[in-house]
C-alpha cells in the first residue's frame, strides 16, 4: 500500500481519468501506441499542472480547467468556407477525418487513425517534457487527424487549410506535416466551432532543407470552449518558417509553440495577435531552441485586452552552447483597454553561447493620447478614433505577411472581431 497521500483530485481530473477508462476500447492503436497512452494517462493521474510548475505559472490548469464535457458522438460540426478562396480543405469534423480527402499533386494525405492503428506514428507521441500536460492529454485520447507529406521540391500554389471544427463534447486531434526539401507551402490551421467543447490539437511540422512554409493558426473558438493546442516544428538547414497565430476566441486557451532550428541558416518568424474579450483566459507560450550555429529568429506579439480577459505571453529563447552567431529578437506589446483585464508577460532569454545578438522588449500601455487627440482634432469621434488606433496596432503585424490574399483574409477576420467586440 502506497503511503503517499494522493492530493484530492479535481472533478476535471476525475472526469478525464474516467473517460479514458470508458474510451479505451474505442481508441485506435497498436501495442506501442497503447503503451504511450498508458504513460500519458499516468501523467494526468499525477495531477494537472498548477502555478507552481514554472511553465504554467500564469495558467493554473488544475484550477482553470473546472469542467470537462463528456464525449458526444452525436455532435455534428459543419465545414466552413476557407479563409482564402480556392484553398485545398482538409476537414476534421468533431475530431474525425474525411474519407474523401481532396487530391493535390505532390501532396500525400493520410488519415491519422490509420497510422495510429498500424502504430507507425507511435514515436511521435512522446511528451515534450515532464510538464507537457497538453501533449499527455492529446496522446491519451487522440483518435484521428491527418498526416500530410509535401514532396521535395513541390511548390503549392494554393494554401492547404486544415479545419478542426467541433460542436461540443471532446475532440483530440493530431496533425503531423512534413515539408520536403525545397518545397513551398502555405498552411492554414483553423480552430473553430460551437458549443462548450474541450479540444486538444497537436501539430508537428518538419521542414526539410531549404523548405519555405507560412503557417497560419486562426483560432476562433466560442467563448465557452476550452482549447489546448500545441505547435511543434523543426526547421532544417536554410529552411524558413513564418508562423502566424491569431487568437480571437475560446474560454480557456493555451497555445504552445515549440520550435527548434536544426540546420544552419534556419530562419523562424513568429507573428501573433491575441484579441481578448469577455471573461476568458488566453495563454501563448513559446519555447524556441536555437540548437545550431547561424540561425535567426524574430517574434512579434501584439495583444489587445478588453472586458475581464486575462492574457499571458511567455516566450523563452534558448541559445545552446554551440549555437554561435545566433540572432534572436522578440517583442511583446500589449494594449490593456479595461481595468478588469490583465496581461502577464514573461519573455526569457537562456543563453549559453557567447557570440550572439539576442534581445527582447515588452511593453504594456494604453492608447497613445497624442494619437487619439490628433484623430479627434481631425473630427473623428473618440470611440471611432480608439477603434482605428487599436486596429492599427494589431493590423501592423498582419501587414508584414507579404501575401496579399492572406493579408486580406486575416484583416477580414480582424474586422469581424471588432464588429463583435469593438
Q: Which is nearer to other proteins, 144 or 289 (CB)?
A: 289
User: Looking at beta carbons only, is 124 or 307 nearer to other proteins?
Assistant: 307
Distance of closest approach, residue 332 Cβ to other proteins, in angstroms: 9
The Cα 107–Cα 73 span in angstroms is 31
User: Going by C-beta distance under 8 Å and a sequence separation of 6 or more, which residues neighbour residue 142?
Assistant: 112, 116, 125, 172, 173, 174, 200, 202
In the complex with other proteins, the residue whose CB is nearer, 181 or 349, is: 349
Query: Which residue's entry shows cell 484550477?
Result: 63
Q: Sign of dihedral through CA atoms 144, 284, 71, 9?
A: positive
| Structure-derived torsion over alpha carbons of residues 284, 285, 290, 296, reported in degrees to the nearest 10 | 20
Rounded least distance, CB 390 to other proteins, Å: 12
Binding region for other proteins (CB under 8 A):
54, 57, 321, 324, 334, 336-339, 341-366
Q: How far is the CB of 226 from other proteins (least distance, A)?
A: 23
Sheet strands (E) in 291-406: 296-305, 310-319, 327-336, 342-351, 357-365
Nearer to other proteins among residue 167 and residue 351 (C-beta): 351
End-to-end CA distance of the chain: 58
For residue 42, the minimal CB distance to other proteins (Å) is: 23
Q: Residue 106 or 387: which CB sits closer to other proteins?
A: 387
- Shortest approach of other proteins to residue 322 CB, angstroms? 8
Secondary structure letter of residue 126 according to DSSP = S
**Rounded to the nearest whole angstrom, what is the least distance from the CB of residue 208 to other proteins in the complex?**
26
CA 136, 138, 141, 142 torsion: positive or negative?
A: negative
User: Which residues lie closer than 8 Å to 190 by C-beta, 6 or more apart?
Assistant: 80, 82, 83, 161, 162, 163, 164, 165, 218, 220
- Contact in structure between 317 and 358 (CB atoms under 8 Å): yes
Minimum distance, C-beta of residue 222 to other proteins, in the bound complex (Å): 26
238 vs 333, which CB is nearer to other proteins?
333
What is the widest separation between alpha-carbon atoms in the chain?
A: 76
The smaller minimum CB distance to other proteins, of residues 56 and 231, is found at: 56
Closest by alpha carbon to 385, among 407, 398, 401, 367?
A: 367
Nearest distance, CB of residue 313 and other proteins, angstroms: 9
C-alpha grid cell, residue 106: 505532390
Pick 24 or 353: Cβ nearer other proteins: 353
Amino acid at each position: 500500500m502506497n503511503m503517499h497521500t494522493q492530493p484530492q483530485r479535481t472533478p476535471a481530473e476525475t472526469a478525464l481519468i474516467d473517460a479514458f477508462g470508458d474510451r479505451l476500447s474505442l481508441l485506435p492503436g497498436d501495442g506501442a501506441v497503447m503503451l504511450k497512452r498508458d504513460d500519458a494517462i499516468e501523467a494526468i493521474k499525477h495531477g494537472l499542472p498548477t502555478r507552481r510548475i514554472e511553465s504554467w505559472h500564469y495558467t493554473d490548469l488544475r484550477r482553470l480547467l473546472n469542467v470537462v464535457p463528456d464525449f458526444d458522438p452525436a455532435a455534428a460540426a459543419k465545414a466552413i468556407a476557407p479563409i482564402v478562396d480556392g484553398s485545398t480543405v482538409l476537414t476534421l469534423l468533431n475530431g474525425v477525418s474525411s474519407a474523401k480527402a481532396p487530391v493535390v499533386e505532390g501532396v500525400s494525405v493520410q488519415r491519422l487513425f490509420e497510422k495510429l492503428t498500424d502504430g507507425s506514428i507511435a514515436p511521435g507521441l512522446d511528451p515534450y517534457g515532464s510538464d507537457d500536460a497538453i501533449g499527455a492529454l492529446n496522446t491519451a485520447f487522440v483518435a484521428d487527424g491527418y498526416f500530410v507529406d509535401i514532396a521535395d521540391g513541390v511548390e503549392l500554389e494554393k494554401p492547404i487549410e486544415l479545419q478542426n471544427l467541433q460542436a461540443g463534447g471532446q475532440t483530440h486531434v493530431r496533425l503531423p506535416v512534413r515539408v520536403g526539401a525545397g518545397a513551398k507551402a502555405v498552411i492554414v490551421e483553423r480552430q473553430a466551432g460551437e458549443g462548450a467543447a474541450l479540444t486538444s490539437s497537436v501539430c508537428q511540422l518538419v521542414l526539410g532543407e531549404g523548405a519555405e512554409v507560412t503557417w497560419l493558426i486562426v483560432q476562433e473558438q466560442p467563448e465557452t470552449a476550452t482549447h489546448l493546442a500545441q505547435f511543434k516544428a523543426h526547421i532544417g538547414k536554410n529552411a524558413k518558417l513564418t508562423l502566424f497565430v491569431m487568437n480571437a476566441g475560446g474560454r480557456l486557451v493555451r497555445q504552445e509553440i515549440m520550435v527548434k532550428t536544426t540546420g544552419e541558416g534556419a530562419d523562424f518568424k513568429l507573428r501573433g495577435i491575441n484579441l481578448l474579450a469577455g471573461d476568458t483566459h488566453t495563454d501563448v507560450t513559446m519555447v524556441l531552441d536555437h540548437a545550431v550555429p547561424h540561425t535567426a529568429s524574430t517574434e512579434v506579439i501584439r495583444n489587445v485586452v478588453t472586458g475581464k480577459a486575462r492574457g499571458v505571453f511567455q516566450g523563452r529563447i534558448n541559445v545552446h552552447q554551440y549555437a554561435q552567431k545566433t540572432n534572436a529578437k522578440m517583442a511583446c506589446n500589449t494594449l490593456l483597454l479595461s481595468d478588469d483585464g490583465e496581461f502577464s508577460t514573461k519573455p526569457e532569454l537562456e543563453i549559453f553561447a557567447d557570440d550572439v545578438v539576442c534581445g527582447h522588449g515588452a511593453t504594456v500601455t494604453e492608447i497613445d493620447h497624442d494619437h487619439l487627440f490628433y484623430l479627434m482634432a481631425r473630427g473623428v469621434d473618440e470611440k471611432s478614433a480608439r477603434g482605428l488606433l487599436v486596429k492599427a496596432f494589431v493590423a501592423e503585424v498582419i501587414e508584414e505577411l507579404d501575401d496579399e490574399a492572406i493579408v486580406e483574409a486575416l484583416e477580414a477576420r480582424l474586422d469581424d472581431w471588432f464588429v463583435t467586440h469593438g
